[in-house]
Amino acid sequence: MAAAIRSEVETMSREEVRALQDRLLAEQVEYVFAQSPFYRRKFELERLTPDDLRTVMTLERLSFTTKAEIRASQERRRPLGDFLAVDPSRVMRVVTTSGTTGKPVYYAYDEQDLRAWFEVWARGLWAQGWDTERREIFLSVAGVSRLYGGSLADDIASYLGALPLPVGGEAGAERALTVLDDFGATVLWGTPSYLAYLGRRCPDVLGKPGRDTQVRLLSVSGEPGGGIPQMRAELEELWGADVRESLGMLGFVQMWSECSRQDGMHYIAPDYCVAQLLDLESGEVSEVTEGAQGELVYSLLQWAAHPQLRYRTGDVAVVTAGWGRCECGRTGPKVRCIGRTDDMLIVRGVNLYPSAVKEVASRFRPATTGAIRIVLDSPAYSFNHPLKLKVEYGSDGDPQHLSDLRVKIEDALRQYLGVRSEVLLVPAGTLDEPATSGRLTTTRKVEWFERTYLSVPEQQ
C-alpha cells in the first residue's frame, strides 16, 4: 500500500520551502517580540529588532535558546515562565519533561498549537503507512503519567478517525498485550526497545508470537534504536510488521518521519519549523544537506503559546538524503538520529555515541542480546583509558566461546569506531532494559551508562 501524502508542503522544492519559511519566520519574529517577555528581553540584550531577523539566513544573529534558559524563565515566573506568549486563559494543554536532569520543564499549547501538533503528527503517520482507507486500531505504550506521549497519541488517533486504546506503558506487558489482542490493534506506537520487549513477551502472555496478531505497523520514536538495522530486523521478526521511525521534541512532537524507503526520516513540517544543524566542533550552523551531521536546532513557525527560536534540541543527527523527490513523492531531506549531545563521550580524542556502540554489539546477535552498559568510573565524559563496556551474551555460555566473542567485539569496536575497549560479557537479563518502563524519551544517560563512582552533580 502506497503511503498517502497529506500536505502539499511535503512535495515542495527547496526553493519553495525557503520562500515560505522566510515569510512565516518574519511573522513569527514580530509575534514573539510583541508577545513574549522572554524573547523581547533577549532581543534587547542582544541589540536586535524584528527587522534584523527577516529571513532564515539572518537567524544566526540571535543566540541559541536552551532548556536551561526555559527552566530559569519558569523559576522566575511560575509555572509557565515569561516566555509564555499568550494569556494563560488560552492555554489548553500543558506537558512536561520527566525531570530526570533537573526540575521538570513545562510546555503550554493553545488551540492553534494543538491543531498544528495534530496535523503534523498526522502527516508523519501517513508517511509511515497509515491506512487511510480503513479504520486503524491504535495502541500507544508510551508512558502517560510521566510524559506527553501517551495521552496526546490517543488524541492523534481520534483526530485521524482511528480507535485509540488508552493503555500506556505503565500498565505493564500483560495488560498491554491482552488489550492489543482483544481489540486487534493494527498500529503499535512506542520506543523500539519497549516494543521489542513486548514482542518477546507475546508467546508467554498470548500463547502466540507477535507476528500472529493483527499488528501491521510499528511506529517507533524516543530513542535512536529505530535506526539501528539489527533492532529494526528484530522488531520485524517479532511482529511481522513494518517498522517506521519518527523524530521530534517535547515542544513540538514530530518534524521527521520515515516512509517505506526506510533510509531516513523525511522533513515533514517545514511550514511549522525551521530545522538547522549545529556543528559541534566548529560551532557553525548550516542547512540540512546530504552528508551533514550535527545537533538539530529548531525555530518554530506559526506557534503561539510557547514559541521557540533557535532552540538547541540536544539530538545529534546525520543527513542521509538531501532535497529531492523520493519514490514516495516527498521532497524533504532525510535524517537519522545517532545520539544526544549529553550522551557523547570523547575516548582518546574520538567522539563516541552510545547508540553506535550498541549497533556494533548488536551485529553479533544471537551471540549477544544487544543490551549494553558503558561503565563510567568518574564524572568526566572525556578520558584516555579504554572504553569499559558490559555486553549481554545470548544463551551460549561456553567459556571458550565467550572468550572468542569478547575479542571479536573489542576488535569490531576498534575497527568500526576507532576506540580501544575492555568488554565484560554478562548473562542475558543482567542489564535491565530501561525502556521497558514504557517511557517515551528522557536524557539518555539513564539508559546507556553505569556509574561506579560515588556521586555526580545533577546535569542541567
C-alpha–C-alpha distance, residues 363 and 352, integer Å: 17
Res 380: pLDDT? 66
Residue 136's pLDDT is: 98
Indicate the domain borders of the chain: 1-340, 345-451
Are 92 and 114 in contact, with CB atoms under 8 Å apart? Answer: yes
| Neighbour order of strands in the sheet with 345-347 | 350-352, 345-347, 382-383
Asked if residue 370 lies in contact with residue 354, where contact means CB atoms within 8 angstroms, the answer is no
pLDDT of residue 439: 36
Instruction: Of 265, 243, 275, 244, give the one whose Cα is nearest residue 326.
Output: 265
The letter for the amino acid at 399 is P
Cell numbers placing 144: 502517560
* Residue 453, Cβ density class (10 Å: 0-12 exposed, 13-18 middle, ≥19 buried): exposed
| C-beta separation of 228 from 354 below 8 A | no
Q: For the purposes of burial, counting CB atoms within 10 Å of the CB of 4, is it exposed (0-12), middle (13-18) or buried (19 or more)?
A: middle
- Write down how long the chain is: 460
The DSSP letter of residue 260 is T
How far is it, in rounded angstroms, from Cα 138 to Cα 151? 12
pLDDT at 327: 96
Q: What is the CA radius of gyration of the chain?
A: 22
pLDDT at position 444: 37
Task: Identify the helix (H) or strand (E) that includes residue 295.
Answer: strand 293-300
pLDDT confidence of residue 285 = 97
Q: Which of 161, 118, 117 is nearest to 138 (CA)?
A: 161
Are 127 and 121 a contacting pair, CB within 8 Å? no
The pLDDT tens digits along the chain (460 residues) read 556 899 999 999 999 999 999 999 999 999 999 999 999 999 999 999 999 999 999 999 999 999 899 999 999 999 999 999 999 999 999 888 765 456 788 999 999 999 999 999 999 999 999 999 999 999 998 765 444 545 778 889 999 999 999 887 767 899 999 999 999 999 999 888 889 989 999 999 999 999 999 999 999 987 777 888 888 999 999 999 999 999 998 767 789 999 999 999 999 999 999 999 999 989 999 999 999 999 999 999 999 999 999 999 999 999 999 999 999 999 999 999 988 887 778 787 677 888 889 989 999 999 999 889 999 887 667 777 899 999 999 988 888 999 999 999 999 999 988 899 999 999 998 886 544 333 333 333 346 888 776 443 333 3
In our burial notation (b when 16+ CB lie closer than 10 A, e otherwise), range 332-349 reads bbbbbbbbbbebbbebee
Indicate whether this model's pTM tops 0.75.
yes
- For residue 453, what pLDDT is reported? 60
CA distance 396 to 450: 25
**Residue 372 to residue 392: CA distance in whole angstroms:** 6
Report the alpha-carbon distance of residue 81 to residue 101 in Å, rounded: 19
The pLDDT assigned to 351 comes to 77
As a whole number of angstroms, the distance between CA 125 and CA 6 comes to 10
**CATH, domain range 1-340:** 3.40.50.12780
Asked if 63 and 420 touch (Cβ cutoff 8 Å), the reply is: no
CATH code that applies to domain 345-451? 3.30.300.30
